[in-house]
């Protein structure tokens, strides 16, 4: 019985410490257009999906708001290269673009 309590408590701690992945909305799409005129809500959602599927494979998801636009512009290309090598996947230029749009927009949300 104690093992179940310990395991449950550990699971709860992990869940509470997990970073919530921000969901873009219409207001975010409007805001994104100030920096990325071609950005759409679908682009932001695609960027979120890439972030969710690929960025958590090597490390816990980062708190997006913790980084500035300049930092995301510096980090993103490097991480895309690493993810493509490690997982033998292809986040292409279009994927990198929507990922950056998502990160920059949501960092400023």
Residue 39 placed within a domain: yes
Indicate whether 101 pLDDT > 80: yes
CA atoms within 13 A on the CB side of 7: 4
Give the domain extent around 102.
Answer: 22-107
- Kindly state whether residue 38 falls inside one of the protein's structural domains: yes
pTM for the predicted model, two decimal places: 0.79
Residue 54 lies inside a defined structural domain of this protein: yes
Q: Which positions ≥6 away from 1 have C-beta within 8 Å?
A: none
Q: Note whether residue 96 is domain-resident.
A: yes
Domain count, the chain: 1
Residue 12 lies in a domain: no
Question: Is residue 48 situated within a structural domain?
Answer: yes
pLDDT digits (tens, 9 = 90+) for 25-47: 999 999 999 999 999 999 999 99
Does 7 reside within a domain?
no
């Amino acid at each position: 019985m104690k093992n179940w309590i310990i395991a449950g408590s550990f699971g709860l701690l992990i869940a509470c410490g997990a970073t919530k992945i921000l969901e873009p909305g219409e207001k975010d799409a409007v805001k994104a257009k100030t920096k990325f005129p071609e950005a759409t809500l679908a682009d932001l959602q695609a960027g979120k999906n890439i972030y969710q599927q690929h960025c958590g494979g090597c490390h816990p998801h980062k708190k997006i708001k913790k980084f500035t636009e300049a930092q995301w512009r510096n980090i993103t290309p490097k991480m895309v290269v690493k993810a493509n090598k490690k997982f033998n996947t292809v986040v292409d230029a279009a994927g990198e673009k929507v990922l950056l749009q998502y990160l920059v927009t949501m960092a400023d949300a």
